[in-house]
Structure 1
Amino acid sequence: MYQKNTIKTIRWGIIGLGAIANDFASDLNRVSNTVIQGVASRSSTKAKDFAKKHKAQKFYDSYVDLLADESIDVVYIATPHHLHLEWTLKAIKAKKAVLCEKPLGLNALQVRQMMNAAKSEKVFLMEALWTRFNPTMEAVLKQLKSNPIGKLRLLKADFCFHALDQSTEHRIFNLELAGGSILDIGIYPVFLAYILFGKPQEIKAYSQFHQGGSELQTSVLLNYQDCQAQLFSSFAFRSEMKAQLYGEKGQLCIDADWFQSDSYRLLTQEGEQVYNHPKKGIGFCHEIEAVNTALRKGKTEEARWTLQNSLELIELLDEIRKQVGAIYDFE
């Protein structure tokens, strides 16, 4: 266990060395008092090459061996979705702090298992929803407290990119790997609605499916007492990916790509005002710094994105998948 203010350099391990892990590792090397202590892949060659590229101290061809490394403080889990539960639980059992890629679990049952394990072992656990820590997102949430566009009435947000050239074996379409847009990218607009409005009173969702059987694109309507959220995710085309928030006295637009944007704008009767908030590196630095700070303070959660937040978010995604029939055989 960590003692408050005793750690100066946070030593990270990475499990699962795909594209997102590459970006994450690049940003780890941009954060002060942070070192990549070890990386693990089931391919020794891949682990070695990754370690060389990102200046990791050690590399492993076994996830288990990385978790046994006592010099590692915190593990970033970047495996495909269906492996999050297994390796998060094993990391927690090994007394490692854990930052697990979104979605934290495939469903609420899995997330509760992780929460209970982390609380039992008294170790840090957080879902890697990097957008929550993006400077633009932080600024938007702060700005909205002053009610700049009046009573909020509508959110429009999407996350779409073209992937129809990928085979049905690709992770985004492979049902055995929990493929489909909802958990992969649909989580982002649902997260935005949740962080702005909380839990809705009513959910309506509609999906269309890929030829291999996985969910291809989904429309979601979240109904609240005084406002609504219109959300969409798709692997069939690329959208503008702006997030638009409408109030009775104006609009707030988070510029493209909204989930990693460097700016937003207010449109009111007084005109348009642009606010720039550049992110560090690729954008993972802020999330990394949040974890590092929490560990240095001896905390087991980060207040801006708690385990309860992750549970409530996955419950919304559970209901969406239930309504459209995007359920996996292994659940």
Structure 2
Amino acid sequence: MRDFFQGSDTSTGAKARIEAGTLLRPEGLRHFLKATPVGAAAGKRPLVILLHGAGSSAAQLLGLRFPPSPLSLWLEIAEREHLVVIALDGSKRRGERAWNDSYAGVTANPQTDDTGFISAVIDRAIAEDEVDPARIYLMGVSKGGMMAYRAATEMAPRLAAFSVALAAMPVDSNCGPPRTPLPVLFMAGTADPFIPYTGRKFLYQFPIFSSLAAPMTSVEESVAVWRELAGLHGEPAVAAIPQRHPGAATRVTRYTWGGDPAALQVCLLKIDGGGHAEPSMVKRYPGLFSRFPGAQNGDIEAAEEAWAFFKDKRTVLE
């Protein structure tokens, strides 16, 4: 019953320490949480930037607020792999933190330069935290994933790779189509009520949600945009992920275009039956959430999948 209402966390690894930070931007003071490993760095460290979903926060993303996000496992990865992880807060709009993402015409979006905020945080981390400029990675979930699309379009040369979970690209974009290829990891559920896998329709058709998003492409159309840009036209390598509990409501298939993990790759983790929940084996949302916003997969670990995708990739610095 406790798991049904409160969820569960069976992770046991040491965690990177968290400290709060601020950065003065033209729109005002912006906030973030930075996690750094306890041990001294042997060299320059990779940096992972995390972007939360609508109505959420950096604190929820790093497990400090209910319901703790499965992406809080990045704290253990940071300690184990000697990363710097920075979770950013969107600016407040109508009482909730939000992003000026790539969706044109969304009235709930603040009119802030969030790509500029991300870039400024990267600059500070390079200057103060021994971060490697060739190993900058970005991951966004839900509306944070929509913001990640915009940031990847506007600041592609600074990123070695990015990942989006539970997010698709807009039909009409604030920033135009991406122009620079990047390695991308997608995670998406076929039963997500907020991000329909087949696209176009969204709960925006109901008045209560009309300010949150606009028509979107299908997940596979979003994948195709980045595949075409990278010149990855062939058939993908396909791998079915074994179910940890046979007969579970969800099942994951990995589709990978590009065979070299150190080069351009596009990967889709398609979660059949998955709802609007980041997959995790050890950090489980309350069972009540399986009714809405849908089933959480327990066969893969979202943060570990992202790190496995990121770790060999580097930006070619001029």
Question: Which TM-score band applies after superposition, normalised by the shorter structure?
Answer: 0.3 to 0.5
Using the size of structure 1 for normalisation, the TM-score is 0.36
TM-score of the aligned structures, taking structure 2 as reference length: 0.37
More helix by share: 1
Question: Rg larger in 1 or in 2?
Answer: 1
